[in-house]
Amino acid sequence: MLQEEIKKDEYYIRFSGVAEIPEPLSSDQDYNVKIERMGFEDWKIKNLQDGKKRITYLLKPLSHAEIISQGKAIKTSDPIKLSVKLRGRLWILANEQGIDEQEFYDRTMQKIILYADEVIEFLENKN
């Protein structure tokens, strides 16, 4: 009897996000894209028919990207406002803790406003 093959889960990464570019890209070129920081946004688990799972992680850029082709670099800018990014990050934290997103957002924003001086001082001392 042959030993049954060990079933291993499959892991994938999906990228999301949007960035503004100052000029059009050419469809007949390949591009290298450099992004310094990506953040974990979500994951999905799909049960496959053979007993394995396919786990797909969704990553979103947290910094500007640089698009390089034929020695020329194009820097992107982020069209998403920082307040929207903060709300999204707080939503993720609330979900990770299993609490209501809106309540968590309201409570956190009230604390940030109340302790703004201390928050700024704390952040200025971070790397």
Q: What confidence score (pLDDT) does residue 6 get? A: 61
Q: What confidence score (pLDDT) does residue 5 get? A: 57
- The tokens for 2 are 């042959």
Q: How far apart are CA 15 and CA 13, in angstroms?
A: 7
pLDDT in tens, 40-57: 888 899 998 888 899 999
* Displacement of CA 48 from its chain's centroid (Å): 26
First to last CA, the chain: 59
Whose tokens are 């503004």? That residue is 20
Q: How far apart are CA 69 and CA 103, in angstroms?
A: 46
Strand partners, 34: 66
Q: How far apart are CA 67 and CA 89, in angstroms?
A: 26
| Model confidence, pTM | 0.51
When pLDDT is averaged across residues 55-82 and rounded to a whole number, the result is 84
